[in-house]
Copies of this chain bind each other. A is one copy, B any other.
Amino acid sequence: MPSPGQAPALPDVDAFLHELARLRLLVLLSVVKRADFVYLLRQSGFSRGNLSVQMTKLAEAGLVDIDKSFVDNRPRTAYALTKAGRSALRAYKVSMTALLDALPD
């Protein structure tokens, strides 16, 4: 069996960000800077319930800000990454890239 030492030291990866649903939402937000519920709904293809739960969790984790208001008499909820969110995403990208780099090809 392989001798110790040739084993790559695998980086730690943030499991909360690693969750695909959340990761997608964060990537969307990182690109557009600010997005509302309906926009994320369309772009992600998630159900409204799932989207609501995930955004709430992201907010509780301090990764996104939530801004609720009314536009044309209708509720509008807008989301934006916080600084902590941006920084967490950067760290995730670094660690995940390192993990993928351990793969051949």
User: Which residues of A approach B to under 8 Å, CB–CB?
Assistant: 1-2, 4, 6-8, 10, 13, 15, 18, 20, 23-24, 27-28, 30-32, 34-36, 38-39, 42-43, 78, 89-90, 93, 96-97, 99-100, 102-105
Contacts and interface: CB of A to CB of B under 8 A. Distances in A.
A99 B27 contact: yes
Closest CB pairs A-B (n = 5): A2-B32, A1-B39, A1-B36, A7-B43, A27-B102
A19 to B, nearest CB: 9
A93 B7 CA distance: 19
Given A2-B32, A30-B104, 16 more contacts: A1-B34, A1-B35, A1-B38, A1-B39, A1-B78, A2-B35, A6-B32, A7-B28, A7-B31, A10-B28, A15-B20, A89-B103, A90-B103, A96-B100, A97-B97, A97-B100
A82 to B, nearest CB: 15
Contacts of A39: 1-2
